[in-house]
Amino acid sequence: MASIFTDSFFDNFIDYPGWNISENPLPLGTLYDYISSTFLDGFINYVNIKKAYLIQRYRSPGDIIPLEQLQPYRQSNSVVLPDRDLTVEEVFELYTQKDINIHTKISTFRDDVVILSQALSNPKCWIYFYYDMDCSDCSIGRFETDEPEEVVIVKLEQHLESFNNTKGPFKEIPLHFFKGWISS
């Protein structure tokens, strides 16, 4: 999807990256679309996450997430599992509390998540993650820019506002949600 964000930072768009991905896994200025979430997992633990957003594409805030799809978490030295089905909004409120201790599962919210991050060794190098709940329809891209962080974030939010197939507005995920080992 073309937007001020993608047009500003990416020169090359590759759908269904193929056999040569092992030669240059994440080229600068390239956005891969329709790639597995496990490919994104190989990068997410080695970046500095700056912003993250829940994209309500599959579920509305009042939709129910069944108990068997909820994960246990640690709170006050006890392992806790919710005792009932929860709405998407309740799941968001529960799992984004500061005192919840959990290895982050991006699929916790049962919907799409967008993450904007910087490379640990180069603050001009950014990595964009789009985790789609259909695990093979994800996106990842890497770019460099001299633009200030605030400008990059504004362009990303404008990009998110252009999504027209959502069941609600995008919602910022607090950065303290991302703890321990992060995976899809």
Tell me whether strands 30-35 and 12-15 are parallel, antiparallel or unpaired: parallel
Tokens of 28: 């600068």
Q: 116-163: per-residue pLDDT in tens?
A: 999 999 999 999 999 998 777 899 999 999 999 999 999 999 999 888
Residue with tokens 């030669």: 23
- According to the model, what pLDDT value does residue 113 have? 96
CB atoms < 10 A from the CB of 19, how many?
6
pLDDT for res 129: 97
Closest CA to 67 of 110, 102, 14: 110
| 31-82 pLDDT, tens digit each | 999 999 999 999 999 999 999 999 988 888 889 999 999 988 887 788 888 9
Q: Give the distance from CA 181 to its chain's centroid.
A: 14
Backbone angles phi, psi at 122, to 5 degrees: -150, 105
Length of the chain: 184
Q: Which residue has the higher pLDDT, 53 or 101?
A: 53
* 129 touches 39 (CB < 8 A): no
Would you state the pLDDT for residue 15? Answer: 92
Q: Across 16-120, where does the E strand assignment appear?
A: 30-35, 47-55, 64-65, 73-75, 78-80, 86-87, 112-119
* Mean pLDDT value of segment 82-93: 93
pLDDT score for 20 = 76
The whole-number pLDDT of residue 58 equals 87
Q: Give the whole-angstrom CA distance, residue 132 versus residue 79.
A: 28
- Residue 183 in domain: no
Q: What pLDDT is recorded for position 60?
A: 83
Residue 74, domain member (yes or no): yes
**Does residue 145 form part of some domain?**
yes
How many whole angstroms separate alpha carbon 34 and alpha carbon 27?
16
Q: State the total domains in the chain.
A: 1
**Per-residue pLDDT reduced to its tens digit, 13-37:** 999 988 778 888 999 999 999 999 9
> According to the model, what pLDDT value does residue 5 have?
93
* Residue at 88 is within a domain: yes
pLDDT for the residue 1: 57
Work out the pLDDT band at 166, boundaries 50, 70, 90.
confident
Q: What is the dihedral of CA 107, 108, 113, 118, to 10 degrees?
A: -90
Residue 81: CB atoms within 10 Å:
9
182 in a domain, yes or no? no
Phi, psi of 157 (to 5 degrees): -65, -35
Could you list the residue range(s) of the whole structural domain that residue 156 is in? 4-177
- Say what the pTM is: 0.92
